[in-house]
């Protein structure tokens, strides 16, 4: 039986990775500090013989961490997200997303794991001019979160180069699906809109809603990580998106409900669009869940967001003040 570690296992994407690995017969060691992750997200595996949960902060992992002993694959999702808090508290982001990654890399190196897959962010492309955006597009982070995730990626590839730790980085576009964010910080449009839908409040559409995002369903993303883990490759970077951008207006149409507009924000791309030819070619991966089906799945589980924060134009204005303050010279 193969053993895998999932860091950030109680988070949104990490918890889906756990589901997939257990389905595929892996022994799964789930690591999370529960700062933003929720035990509920993995509670359905409690008591399973092949599942264990380790309440650990990755920054505290020693190089000889016992939990890494005998592990074949490491899926590294642990970290913190969101734009505004990263502008306000950049060192926290560097600690969690860069220093934390270094600790995971060292533990993985000492354990002699077969492959580490790093969860990177497409935010490294900033306001990309090349659309669809390939892995060779210029790196231009717009805020500290994006920088920290990119530095984590550089570290993973550096460990691959210097220490021969087999590592692959996956740059995720807009991942959505069950269990997507319910925490207090503003961001991640699905959590915002679904809470608004439950409470019969208007969807807070940014700008005119014609901006598009490459939304990719979370179970497709987990399959990409598994494909990267088992393939005989190292030192590579792959985009993961659906390759089929959808507008916010289309999302509103699918969820259904009234709309209120809030101002467009500086430094936000008009469009994100992954060029996914590389991962299709090298790993044979392709997304299989259509946007319509993915949204349907979320609507069928809408109760999950009943306690999620309810955002209004006023609270959004408050929550994004720092954003407008620091990024005001960036294009809107």
**Footprint on this chain of ligand UDP (rule: CB under 6 A):** 174, 187-189, 192, 204-206, 211, 213, 248, 268
CB of 127 to ligand UDP, least distance (A): 12
Question: Between residues 65 and 211, which has the closer beta carbon with respect to ligand UDP?
Answer: 211
CB of 81 to ligand UDP, least distance (A): 9
And the tokens for 146? Answer: 């994006």
CA atoms within 13 A on the CB side of 160: 20
CB of 313 to ligand UDP, least distance (A): 9
145 assigned to active site: yes
CB of 269 to ligand UDP, least distance (A): 7
Question: Between residues 56 and 297, which has the closer beta carbon with respect to ligand UDP?
Answer: 297
d(CA 123, CA 143): 9
Question: Between residues 187 and 235, which has the closer beta carbon with respect to ligand UDP?
Answer: 187
CB of 51 to ligand UDP, least distance (A): 30
Positive/negative CA dihedral, 23, 34, 216, 313: positive
Question: Between residues 19 and 268, which has the closer beta carbon with respect to ligand UDP?
Answer: 268
Question: Between residues 29 and 197, which has the closer beta carbon with respect to ligand UDP?
Answer: 197
d(CA 110, CA 81): 28
Burial 136-167 (b: 16+ CB within 10 A, else e): ebeeebbbbbbbbbbbbbbbbbebbeeeebbb
The single residue of 93, 118, 143, 145 carrying the catalytic annotation is 145
CB 61 within 8 A of CB 101: no
And the tokens for 255? Answer: 């969820």
Question: Between residues 90 and 207, which has the closer beta carbon with respect to ligand UDP?
Answer: 207
CB of 25 to ligand UDP, least distance (A): 34
Query: What amino acid positions are annotated as catalytic residues?
Result: 145
């Amino acid at each position: 039986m193969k053993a895998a570690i999932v860091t950030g296992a109680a988070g949104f994407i990490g918890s889906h990775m756990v589901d997939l690995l257990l389905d595929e017969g892996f022994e799964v060691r789930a690591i999370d500090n529960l700062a933003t992750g929720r035990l509920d997200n993995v509670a359905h595996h409690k008591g399973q013989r092949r599942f264990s949960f380790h309440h650990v902060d990755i920054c505290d992992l020693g190089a000889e961490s016992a939990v890494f002993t005998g592990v074949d694959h490491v899926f590294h999702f642990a970290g913190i997200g969101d734009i505004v808090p990263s502008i306000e508290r950049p060192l926290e982001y560097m600690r969690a997303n860069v220093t934390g990654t270094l600790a995971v890399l060292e533990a993985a190196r000492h354990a002699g794991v077969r492959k580490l897959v790093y969860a990177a962010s497409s935010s490294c492309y900033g306001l990309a001019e090349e659309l669809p955006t390939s892995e060779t597009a210029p790196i231009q982070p717009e805020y500290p979160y994006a920088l920290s995730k990119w530095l984590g990626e550089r570290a993973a590839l550096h460990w691959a180069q210097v220490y021969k730790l087999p590592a692959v980085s996956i740059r995720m576009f807009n991942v959505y699906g069950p269990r997507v964010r319910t925490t207090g910080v503003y961001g991640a449009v699905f959590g915002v809109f679904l809470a608004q839908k439950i409470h019969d409040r208007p969807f807070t559409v940014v700008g005119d809603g014609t901006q598009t995002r490459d939304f990719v369903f979370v179970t497709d993303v987990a399959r990409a990580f598994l494909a990267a883990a088992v393939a005989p490759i190292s030192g590579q970077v792959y985009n993961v998106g659906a390759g089929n951008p959808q507008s916010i207006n289309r999302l509103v149409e699918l969820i259904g409900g009234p709309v209120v507009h809030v101002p467009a924000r500086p430094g936000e791309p008009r469009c994100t669009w992954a060029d996914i030819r590389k991962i299709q070619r090298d790993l044979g991966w392709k997304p299989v869940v259509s946007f319509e089906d993915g949204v349907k799945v979320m609507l069928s589980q809408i109760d999950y967001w009943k306690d999620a924060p309810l955002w209004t134009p006023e609270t959004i204005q408050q929550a994004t003040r720092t954003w407008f303050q620091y990024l005001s010279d960036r294009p809107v």
